[in-house]
């Protein structure tokens, strides 16, 4: 992984400066209340750093996918302003327009309303980028979760602001990925789960060059199991990717489970039945690895020095199909390896099985996580590199 030199917020004078921080505060909200504030707490370090340094701090973020150029209550950041205020122990006013930024005094903070209400955000328009850049002396990019998108608030503003630098979260994320991808301690095991091979195909391809072993789980595993010649009944899989799966499996060790948990319908109440891998019936669906496999795979993690985890090993939202994910999550947490985990479902599993403390680095990235592993340069990171040169 090639990382350009990027100026950190720690290297920039912030006292009496107008600072605009792009954070990723795209959090789940139900009935006007934030239901998981993980992304807000992950953004606090940079916000507090800038406040303590005596800057006027305006934070901006997107939330959901509103129609650009139109305000709707449903996607307002008002609940986020409230939660951020509680976490900081101070009032965080919501600013309707970028031009409201100067109303924030030095040592004070405001939150700009959803940047996706602004026309030109997603197209990275020069006009909106300049409008945002005009509001600040220093632009701080801290939204790792959105760094793979070249939008006005992540890329265009970084190009045009007087000074542009990385926030503490972005810096920590990039360093964690560099540790994992550039010269990982060997052996390295990657655990890639989830619904479809197609969404993680490039990741699997890149990992064959880096990892010593790839454990595949979920619907992804089903495609590899079918490619190995087993009947998988009516399991979710991708028939058009069987040859691709065979090629990947010929380049790196990908273990096939010896037993699996099957169900007859995709439903929360479906009973889970243990089956040997060569005994799956036509009307059954593989929804998790079996107990023997889970134990054996957990043991193979003992000698790992680096572990990368993205995606659940089964339909863990249904408790009876969550054991594979739980056992592996605990093995990762107990291992002395440097471990990195990320992705929306993975973080939900980390939470569900209370393994946060055992994982070396928990990434806030989903798409950005995958793109870094694929070997891509994140556009916002590339721009910060150019501005730091
Ligand atoms: P992804 O978004 O690709 O990481 O996929 C995560 C989703 O894959 C979760 O909602 C899981 O419930 C689902 N999943 C995992 N294993 C299976 C499986 N064997 N069959 C169907 N869906 C699965």
Which parts of the chain fold into alpha helices (H)?
38-52, 78-88, 126-133, 157-160, 168-181, 197-210, 218-227, 242-251, 291-300, 323-334, 344-352, 367-373, 379-388
Rounded Cα gap, residues 286 and 260, in angstroms: 6
CA of residue 138 to ligand 1 center, whole Å = 41
Strand, helix or coil for residue 8: strand
Rounded Cα gap, residues 111 and 59, in angstroms: 5
The model's confidence at residue 196, banded by pLDDT at 50, 70 and 90, is: confident
- Find out whether the beta carbon of 219 lies less than 6 Å from any atom of ligand 1: yes
Q: Is 367 a catalytic residue?
A: yes
Q: Are strands 285-289 and 259-263 parallel, antiparallel or unpaired?
A: antiparallel
Q: Is 229 a catalytic residue?
A: no
Strand, helix or coil for residue 165: strand
User: Cα–Cα–Cα angle for 18, 23, 26, nearest 5°?
Assistant: 140
Closest CA to 109 of 118, 100, 122, 119: 100
Rounded Cα gap, residues 21 and 44, in angstroms: 11
Domains and CATH numbers, the chain: 9-167+377-388 (3.40.50.1260), 186-336 (3.40.50.1260)
Residue 198 has pLDDT above 90, yes or no: no
CA of residue 267 to ligand 1 center, whole Å = 13
- For range 177-181, the mean pLDDT: 92
- For range 51-57, the mean pLDDT: 98
- For range 142-167, the mean pLDDT: 98
Q: Which pLDDT score, from 0 to 100, does residue 131 have? A: 98
Rounded Cα gap, residues 24 and 116, in angstroms: 12
Burial of 326 (0-12, 13-18, 19+ CB in 10 A): buried
Q: Is 131 a catalytic residue?
A: no
Q: Which of 192, 195, 267, 370 to mutate to test the pocket of ligand 1 (most atoms within 8 A of CB)?
A: 195
End-to-end CA distance of the chain: 18
Residue 2 has pLDDT above 90, yes or no: no
Q: Which pLDDT score, from 0 to 100, does residue 115 have? A: 98
CA of residue 270 to ligand 1 center, whole Å = 16
Q: Which of 216, 315, 352, 373 to mutate to test the pocket of ligand 1 (most atoms within 8 A of CB)?
A: 315
Closest CA to 61 of 45, 77, 46, 49: 77
Q: Which pLDDT score, from 0 to 100, does residue 201 have? A: 87
- Looking from the CA of residue 193, the nearest atom of ligand 1 is 4
The model's confidence at residue 362, banded by pLDDT at 50, 70 and 90, is: very high
Q: Which of 312, 316, 328 to mutate to test the pocket of ligand 1 (most atoms within 8 A of CB)?
A: 312
The model's confidence at residue 54, banded by pLDDT at 50, 70 and 90, is: very high
CB-based contacts of 233, cutoff 8 Å, min separation 6 = 262, 280, 281, 282, 283, 284, 285, 286
Give per-residue pLDDT as tens, 77-122. 999 999 999 999 999 999 999 999 999 999 999 999 999 999 999 9
- Looking from the CA of residue 346, the nearest atom of ligand 1 is 4
| Residues counted in the chain | 389
- Average pLDDT over the chain, rounded to whole? 96
- Find out whether the beta carbon of 270 lies less than 6 Å from any atom of ligand 1: no
Q: Which pLDDT score, from 0 to 100, does residue 197 have? A: 87
- For range 229-255, the mean pLDDT: 96
- Looking from the CA of residue 287, the nearest atom of ligand 1 is 19
- Find out whether the beta carbon of 286 lies less than 6 Å from any atom of ligand 1: yes
Rounded Cα gap, residues 353 and 330, in angstroms: 8
Secondary element (H or E) of residue 259: strand 259-263
Q: Which pLDDT score, from 0 to 100, does residue 117 have? A: 98
Residue with structure tokens 């089903």?
A: 222
CA of residue 131 to ligand 1 center, whole Å = 41
Closest CA to 372 of 346, 329, 340: 340
- Find out whether the beta carbon of 140 lies less than 6 Å from any atom of ligand 1: no
- Find out whether the beta carbon of 256 lies less than 6 Å from any atom of ligand 1: no
Q: Which pLDDT score, from 0 to 100, does residue 4 have? A: 87
The model's confidence at residue 36, banded by pLDDT at 50, 70 and 90, is: confident
- For range 365-375, the mean pLDDT: 92
Percent of the chain with pLDDT over 90: 94
Closest CA to 123 of 164, 153, 97, 145: 153
Give per-residue pLDDT as tens, 322-361. 999 999 999 999 999 999 999 889 999 999 999 999 999 9
CA of residue 243 to ligand 1 center, whole Å = 21
CA of residue 382 to ligand 1 center, whole Å = 32
pTM surpassing 0.85? yes
Residue 138 has pLDDT above 90, yes or no: yes
């Amino acid at each position: 992984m090639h990382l350009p030199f990027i100026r950190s917020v720690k290297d920039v004078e912030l006292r009496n400066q107008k600072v605009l921080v792009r954070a990723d505060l795209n959090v789940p909200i139900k009935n006007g209340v934030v239901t998981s504030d993980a992304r807000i707490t992950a953004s606090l370090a940079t916000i507090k750093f800038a406040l303590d340094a005596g800057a006027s701090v305006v934070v901006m973020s997107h939330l959901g996918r509103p129609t650009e150029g139109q305000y709707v209550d449903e996607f307002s950041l008002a609940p986020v302003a409230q939660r951020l205020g509680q976490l900081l122990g101070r009032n965080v006013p919501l600013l309707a327009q970028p031009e409201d930024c100067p109303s924030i005094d030095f040592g004070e903070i405001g939150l700009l309303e959803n940047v996706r209400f602004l026309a030109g955000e997603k197209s990275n328009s020069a006009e909106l980028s300049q409008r945002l850049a005009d509001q600040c002396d220093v632009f701080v990019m801290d939204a790792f979760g959105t760094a793979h998108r070249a939008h006005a608030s992540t890329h265009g503003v970084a190009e045009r602001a007087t000074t542009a630098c990385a926030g503490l979260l972005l810096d920590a994320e990039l360093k964690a990925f560099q540790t994992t991808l550039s010269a990982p301690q060997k052996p390295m095991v990657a655990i890639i789960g989830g619904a479809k091979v197609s969404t993680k195909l490039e990741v699997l391809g890149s990992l064959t060059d880096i990892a010593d072993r790839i454990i595949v789980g979920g619907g992804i595993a089903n495609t590899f199991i079918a490619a190995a010649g087993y009947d998988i009944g009516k399991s979710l899989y991708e028939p058009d990717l069987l040859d691709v799966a065979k090629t990947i499996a010929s380049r790196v060790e990908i273990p096939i489970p010896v037993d699996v948990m099957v169900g007859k319908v995709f439903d929360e109440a479906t009973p889970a039945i243990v089956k040997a891998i060569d005994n799956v019936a036509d009307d059954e669906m593989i929804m998790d690895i079996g107990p023997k496999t889970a134990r054996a795979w957990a043991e193979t993690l003992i000698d790992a020095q680096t572990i990368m985890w993205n995606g659940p090993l089964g339909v863990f939202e249904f408790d009876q199909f969550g054991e594979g994910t739980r056992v592996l999550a605990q093995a990762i947490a107990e291992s002395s390896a440097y471990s990195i985990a990320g992705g929306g479902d993975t973080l939900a599993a980390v939470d569900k099985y209370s393994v946060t403390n055992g994982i070396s680095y928990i990434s806030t990235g989903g798409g950005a996580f995958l793109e870094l592993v694929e070997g891509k340069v994140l556009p916002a990171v590339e721009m910060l590199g150019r501005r730091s040169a």
